Structure 1
């Protein structure tokens, strides 16, 4: 009996050290990031927004982000857990494609960027690809009565390169992009 208690105590101490070291590394690593592991808060028109949480934009004069499996509720981050063989999921994606084509009729022949019709794993992804933003330029230019070139320039100025220019695609934060659109004259 004594051996079991001693073994369990040793295992507990070893696991506490391993987990403690891991947490210290993660914490130290977060302090290297530009936001130091904290939310990036943006004040716009008297409201507070979190740039690292996806927002819903319904107006045709704004860029639309990724669909959310949790209706953009940050308290309930989750994916849909449905795969491409699930009939309900396929029907949902088809409806999103139809809606996107209806909102962007001049882009009917263009290939739809996948992130505009599929939710992310968290359901709260704040970014889309540069292609996803460019897909929506014609609609926004028409709604805002500004040139497509001006909107494309805003996209280019807000596009973030992949981490270390190696990991992942270039991306655009939808909230920051829409705020920049509001500031265009």
Structure 2
């Protein structure tokens, strides 16, 4: 589904509270579905940590944060930049740190627009590989990324609730150009 009412723009520091609220709502939905308790997700300390992390990301020189906006409201976010892991060559790969869409708007094409922006970022930076981590209990995210050509690469690390973060790769050269 194509969403013509949603526009993408670079995030500003003034967006950090809205970004944090959206991120909190999205992560609460998928982590609760995977068995993580509400107390672990919505504590004031966790919220303050998320806000500080987003402020750093928006103000960072090596990250890009985009907001998907509809009718003046932030309805999705994308964070991307260089890879975290030392075994991933930053001359070849970029990392999709996070895509979040406001619950209730899932399946409306917003995540697809944000994903397409990440692929454009890779191409503009002449990078041939994308990497990301997805929580193994988030079947919605796993399915979304698989539909967009991502595949697990065999690496994982501990995640919340006894789950794992699975690293996935996307070979950009294999994708059709728009």
- TM-score, with structure 2 as normaliser: 0.27
Q: Identify the structure with the greater helix proportion.
A: 1
Larger Rg: 1
Q: Identify the structure with the greater strand proportion.
A: 2
